[in-house]
């Protein structure tokens, strides 16, 4: 997720010129297909036995490991501990790292549920039959939450600048690029596709969402030192963890009402990433956001999450006694 990359991040030219047909992104696809395609559940290999007994733990270990192996060198390079990397190389590396959660989801699913489980997970990518109101919430409601969270920040409203027509015209392309390369496609099959159903089943919707939110937020930590996010201050890191946890609560509510659709969660992820970076930032260029770029989404998402917790009594759209959407059977930890 590149939510905080809007201030000092990459422009579209950097993404356009980055060679995504080869290197880590293409290589990641080959590795994923090779790993999933060659898993034999009848094999007595020790790693498969550990994964089968502790699928949730295995998932988070793989997701973190795959992503951090790529991101930590980028962060060390940005901090001067390793030779500097050109922007296109950094862009490719960060895109590849977003697929760590997907790799974890498919590897663990293949081990625990075999090909049938992999097929079920893939089908949720195209699960589009959801009420139109949910699409409206994702595409209009989420941006409104970001705007409301922005204008309550002291001094933000006074810095309002009209949106240029060119900016609006470029929004659909920015949305598509964010969907494919900015986190939604690479992350959601893991966080919401694999982890959330199991966490809800074990801990309940609210506690499971809080746990997932903290783990999701901490997975991003190397990017604070990569030179493309807001400064890695204690305040910014704490705000990010709180914001992501609040966002996770919101996404759980949508996920449960959407029957576990990954398409819906990917669209929601793309919506707030794109709007916050490409519209809200230039619309309200308050100086405070140069240092604390997370304030608008922190305020908006936290307020919304608290309302949802109270309104649903912590159930977040999951009826009492019903299994989580996307969960075929009870799983271990």
Find where tokens 């690479």 sit. Answer: 186
Is 294 contained in some domain?
Answer: yes
How many percent of the chain have pLDDT more than 70? 84
Find where tokens 């699928």 sit. Answer: 55
CB 264 within 8 A of CB 255: yes
CB 181 within 8 A of CB 95: yes
Report the candidate in 94, 101, 29 with the shortest Cα–Cα distance to residue 63: 101
Structure tokens at 134: 């949910």
- CA torsion sign, 184 to 187 to 249 to 304? negative
Is 6 contained in some domain?
Answer: no
- CA torsion sign, 60 to 66 to 71 to 77? positive
Q: Which of 4-18, 119-133, 290-304 has the highest mean pLDDT?
A: 119-133
Total domains present in the chain = 1
**The pLDDT of residue 2:** 57
Q: Could you tell me which residue, 44 or 208, shows the higher pLDDT?
A: 208
Is 136 contained in some domain?
Answer: yes
**The pLDDT of residue 113:** 95
Is 306 contained in some domain?
Answer: yes
**The pLDDT of residue 163:** 81
**Residue-wise pLDDT tens digits, 30-41:** 444 444 454 444
**The pLDDT of residue 216:** 99
Is 115 contained in some domain?
Answer: yes
Is 44 contained in some domain?
Answer: yes
**Residue-wise pLDDT tens digits, 259-285:** 999 999 999 999 999 999 889 988 999
Q: Could you tell me which residue, 280 or 210, shows the higher pLDDT?
A: 210
Question: What is the mean predicted confidence (pLDDT) over 309-321?
Answer: 97
Is 117 contained in some domain?
Answer: yes
Confidence band of 109 (pLDDT split at 50, 70, 90): very high
Q: How far is CA 219 from CA 110, 148, 309, in A?
A: 23, 28, 24
CA dihedral 111, 117, 122, 128 (to 10 degrees): -150
Q: Could you tell me which residue, 42 or 236, shows the higher pLDDT?
A: 236
**Residue-wise pLDDT tens digits, 163-187:** 888 888 999 999 999 999 999 999 9
**The pLDDT of residue 29:** 45
Q: Does residue 300 surpass a pLDDT of 80? A: yes
**The pLDDT of residue 1:** 56
Is 275 contained in some domain?
Answer: yes
Confidence band of 90 (pLDDT split at 50, 70, 90): very high
For 59, the domain range is 12-312
CA–CA dist 150, 153 (Å, integer): 6
Confidence band of 4 (pLDDT split at 50, 70, 90): very low
CA–CA dist 84, 90 (Å, integer): 10
**The pLDDT of residue 254:** 98
**pLDDT averaged over every residue in the chain:** 87
């Amino acid at each position: 997720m590149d939510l905080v990359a809007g201030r000092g991040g990459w422009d579209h030219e950097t993404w356009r010129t980055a060679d995504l047909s080869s290197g880590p992104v293409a290589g990641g696809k080959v590795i994923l297909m090779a790993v999933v395609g060659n898993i034999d559940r009848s094999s007595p290999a020790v790693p498969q036995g550990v994964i089968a007994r502790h699928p949730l733990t295995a998932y988070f270990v793989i997701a973190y490991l795959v992503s951090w192996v790529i991101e930590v060198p980028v962060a060390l390079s940005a901090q001067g501990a390793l030779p500097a990397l050109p922007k296109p190389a950094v862009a490719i590396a960060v895109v590849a790292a977003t697929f760590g959660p997907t790799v974890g989801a498919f590897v663990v699913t293949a081990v625990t549920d075999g090909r049938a489980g992999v097929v079920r997970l893939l089908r949720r990518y195209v699960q589009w039959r959801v009420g139109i109101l949910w699409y409206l919430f994702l595409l209009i409601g989420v941006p409104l939450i970001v705007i409301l969270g922005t204008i309550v920040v002291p001094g933000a409203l006074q810095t309002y600048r009209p949106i240029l027509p060119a900016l609006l015209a470029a929004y659909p392309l920015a949305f598509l690029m964010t969907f494919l390369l900015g986190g939604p496609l690479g992350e959601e099959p893991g966080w919401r596709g694999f982890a959330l159903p199991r966490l809800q089943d074990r801990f309940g919707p609210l506690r499971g969402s809080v746990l997932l939110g903290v783990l999701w937020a901490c997975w991003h930590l190397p990017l604070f030192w990569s030179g493309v996010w807001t400064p890695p201050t204690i305040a910014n890191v704490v705000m990010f963890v709180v914001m992501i946890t609040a966002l996770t609560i919101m996404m759980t509510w949508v996920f449960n009402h959407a029957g576990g659709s990954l398409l819906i969660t990917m669209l929601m992820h793309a919506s707030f990433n794109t709007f916050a970076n490409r519209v809200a930032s230039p619309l309200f260029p308050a100086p405070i956001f140069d240092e604390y770029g997370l304030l608008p989404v922190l305020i908006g998402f936290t307020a919304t999450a608290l309302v949802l917790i109270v309104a649903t009594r912590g159930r977040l759209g999951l009826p009492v006694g019903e299994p989580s959407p996307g969960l075929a059977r009870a799983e271990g930890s």
